[in-house]
Chain A
Amino acid sequence: MEIKASLNSIYKPSEDVVTRDIQGEFIIVPITSGIGDLEGEIFSLNKHGRAIWDKLDGKKTIKDIAKELSLDFDGAPEDIEKDVLGLTQELLKKKMLVEAGKK
Chain B
Amino acid sequence: MTYIKKEKTIEKAGLWMKSRPLLVRLDMELTERCNNNCIHCCINLPAEDSETRKKELSTDEIKRILKEAVSLQCISARFTGGEPLLREDFQDLYVYARKLGLKVLIFTNATLITPALVDLFSRIPPLERIEVTVYGMKKSSYEAVTRVGGSFEAGWRGINLLLENKIPFVVKGALLPCNKDEIDDFEKWAAALPWMHELPSYSMFFDLRCRRDDYRKNELIKSLRFSPQEALKFLIRKKNEHLKKMKEFCSKFMRPCGDRLFSCGSGHGGCVDAYGYFQPCMMLRHPDTVYNLKTGSLKDALTNFFPRLREMKAANPDYLNRCAKCFLKGLCEQCPAKSWMEHGTLDTPVAYFCKIAHTQARFLGLIKEGEKAWEVKNWRERIEDFTKEKAVVS
B10 A94 Cβ-Cβ under 8 A: yes
B12 A41 Cβ-Cβ under 8 A: yes
B: residues with CB less than 8 A from A are 1-5, 9-21, 70, 73, 75, 98-103, 122-125, 127-129, 168
Tell me whether A86 and B12 are in contact in the complex, defined as CB-CB below 8 angstroms, given that A25-B17, A33-B124, A39-B125 are known contacts: no
Assuming A24-B18, A49-B4, what are 15 further A-B pairs, CB within 8 angstroms? A18-B101, A22-B15, A23-B15, A23-B19, A29-B101, A31-B124, A40-B168, A42-B75, A42-B127, A46-B5, A79-B1, A79-B2, A79-B3, A87-B4, A87-B10
Query: In whole angstroms, what is the CA distance A32 to B103 when docked?
Result: 12
A3: min CB distance to chain B, Å: 17
**Is the contact region of chain A dominated by helix, strand, or loop, or is it mixed?**
mixed
Q: 1/0 per residue A45-63: CB within 8 Å of B? A: 1101100100000000000
Query: In whole angstroms, what is the CA distance A67 to B14 when docked?
Result: 31
Those of A12-50 within 8 Å (CB) of chain B: 18-25, 27-33, 39-46, 48-49
Cβ of A91 within 8 Å of any chain B Cβ, yes or no, is yes
Q: Which residues of B contact A44 (CB under 8 A)?
A: 10-15
**Is the contact region of chain B dominated by helix, strand, or loop, or is it mixed?**
loop
Query: In whole angstroms, what is the CA distance A20 to B20 when docked?
Result: 15
Q: What's the A-B contact tally at a CB cutoff of 8 Å?
A: 108
Query: In whole angstroms, what is the CA distance A39 to B121 when docked?
Result: 11
Cβ of A74 within 8 Å of any chain B Cβ, yes or no, is yes
A88: min CB distance to chain B, Å: 10
B15 A83 Cβ-Cβ under 8 A: no
Closest to A43 in B: B10
Query: In whole angstroms, what is the CA distance A24 to B13 when docked?
Result: 12
B332: min CB distance to chain A, Å: 34
Q: Which residues of B contact A40 (CB under 8 A)?
A: 103, 125, 127-129, 168
Query: In whole angstroms, what is the CA distance A14 to B366 when docked?
Result: 57
Cβ of A75 within 8 Å of any chain B Cβ, yes or no, is yes
Q: Which residues of B contact A25 (CB under 8 A)?
A: 13, 15, 17-18
Query: In whole angstroms, what is the CA distance A60 to B70 when docked?
Result: 30
Cβ of A80 within 8 Å of any chain B Cβ, yes or no, is yes
A101: min CB distance to chain B, Å: 24
B9 A48 Cβ-Cβ under 8 A: yes
A48 B4 Cβ-Cβ under 8 A: yes
Query: In whole angstroms, what is the CA distance A40 to B15 when docked?
Result: 14
